[in-house]
Amino acid sequence: MRSIMERQNLPAILVSHAPNVFYLSGFSGSSGWLLLTEKRALLFTDFRYLEQAAQEAPLFELIKPAAPQGASFFEEIRKLLKGEGLSAIAVEEAHLSWKDCNRLKEAVTGLELLPCSDMIEELRAIKDEEEIERIAFAASIADNALRETLPLIKAGMRERELAAELEYRMRRGGAAGVAFSTIVASGPRSAMPHGLASDRRIGEGEFIIIDFGAAWQGYCSDMTRTFILGEAKPEQERIYALVCAARELAMGAIRTGERAAHIDAEVRRYFAEEGIAHAFGHGLGHGVGVEVHERPSLSPKSKDILQERMVFSVEPGIYLEGWGGVRVEDLVVLRPQGPQLITGSGRQSGISI
């Protein structure tokens, strides 16, 4: 981070976005800001987290403001910067609230505020091996939970019940929690790409989309599987086969140095040839790490270039309003030889359960 600051002539940066605070320091509490300069690394937090911060962020100086994120907090930042003879500070403009921005402006009168967009997010996009291991373990927790949950699915079961069973098994398997709100959408609701679990009862012969992930040691997993309770109809099998074929097409096109938007375009071209392009409305994939949605973005407007050790999802889908939908999502890590699967369970067993 300091190397980037030096190249961009940023004398100091104030980090307020919690995932970035965790990424740079290891601190996982809900109240913490970082101040990085050429010589100092400071972590501001309150009384509740002092012991935790000392354990999780041993490389940072701990500072307990009199009133976290109050006027005295920003005044303390001003004094620290003046003490080092600095005249400017970079802020995460995408994550700083209007209220905090105004407080900071008032406190640092005479200091220049510089926007820094996506600097830390760019660092986060390429994982080291420890990060990849954490994501893979989170994925294994989710894989095991799905395997344990599938035999429990019965006609008449509510979507919320299925989500609860899955989340319980992830917790029991070691997850710190869910990576995001679990999606369970059955029947016509499966045409909703982000249909959160509802009180709807699952019926025989319906699509069931399950999109979920585990959180473990600060990192996320993300996977989607689509099933049918009972025997699939020919049209259901056809749509499912199209999605799986799109996934294989994408996997074959992923390589180091490739434009992420190009992979997305290949899948859209395939769906267009099959006359179903109108039913695929979201991006092909997204990075996964400290957050469940981060860089790179595999979407039509993405500027990202795929690089080794990026971790991202591949998730083509087809959604037909009033009828149902199918999505299959896997996590991969990009290696020199191509994409390596992180997600394992469910897809190989087919559509029927």
pLDDT at residue 86 in the model:
87
Query: Which stretch, 7-11, 88-92, 178-182, has highest mean pLDDT?
Result: 178-182
- Omega cis (within 30) before 151: no
Q: In terms of domains, do 11 and 23 share one?
A: yes
Q: In terms of domains, do 224 and 78 share one?
A: no
Whether 81 contacts 108, CB under 8 Å: yes
For 118-141, b/e burial (b = at least 16 CB within 10 A) is: ebbbeebbbbeeebbebbbbbbbb
Q: In terms of domains, do 155 and 18 share one?
A: no
CATH number for the domain that contains residue 151? 3.90.230.10
Q: Domain ends where: 106, 124, 142?
A: 124
Residue pLDDT, tens place only, 117-156: 889 999 999 999 999 999 999 999 999 999 999 999 999 9
Average predicted confidence (pLDDT) for the chain: 93
Q: In terms of domains, do 190 and 233 share one?
A: yes
Q: In terms of domains, do 143 and 76 share one?
A: no
- Pull the structure tokens for residue 158: 């509510």
pLDDT at residue 136 in the model:
98
pLDDT at residue 342 in the model:
96
Q: In terms of domains, do 271 and 151 share one?
A: yes
Q: In terms of domains, do 41 and 103 share one?
A: yes
**Number of domains making up the chain:** 2
Compute the average pLDDT of residues 299-309.
97
- Residues 6 or more apart from 236 whose CB is under 8 A from it? 207, 228, 324, 351
Q: In terms of domains, do 78 and 211 share one?
A: no
Q: In terms of domains, do 134 and 236 share one?
A: yes
CATH number for the domain that contains residue 32? 3.40.350.10
What residue numbers bound the domain in which 59 lies? Answer: 2-124
Compute the average pLDDT of residues 178-184.
98
Kindly tell me if the per-residue pLDDT of 349 is higher than 60: no
Q: Helix or strand or coil: residue 135?
A: helix
Tell me whether residue 50 is exposed, middle or buried, using C-beta atoms within 10 angstroms of its C-beta: 0 to 12, 13 to 18, 19 or more. middle
Q: Between residues 27 and 99, which one has the greater pLDDT?
A: 27
Strands (E), the chain: 12-15, 33-37, 41-44, 61-63, 88-91, 112-115, 177-178, 183-186, 207-212, 214-216, 219-220, 223-228, 285-287, 294-298, 311-314, 317-320, 324-327, 330-335, 338-341
- Pull the structure tokens for residue 300: 């039509």
Short-list 295, 285, 297, CA closest to 328: 285
Q: In terms of domains, do 330 and 288 share one?
A: yes
Kindly tell me if the per-residue pLDDT of 274 is higher than 60: yes
Q: In terms of domains, do 36 and 119 share one?
A: yes
Kindly tell me if the per-residue pLDDT of 70 is higher than 70: no
d(C-alpha 175, C-alpha 137), whole Å:
9
Taking the model in full, what pTM does it have? 0.94
Q: Domain ends where: 66, 96, 124?
A: 124
pLDDT at residue 117 in the model:
82
Q: Domain ends where: 93, 124, 155?
A: 124
pLDDT at residue 297 in the model:
98
Q: In terms of domains, do 204 and 262 share one?
A: yes
- Pull the structure tokens for residue 124: 């986060």
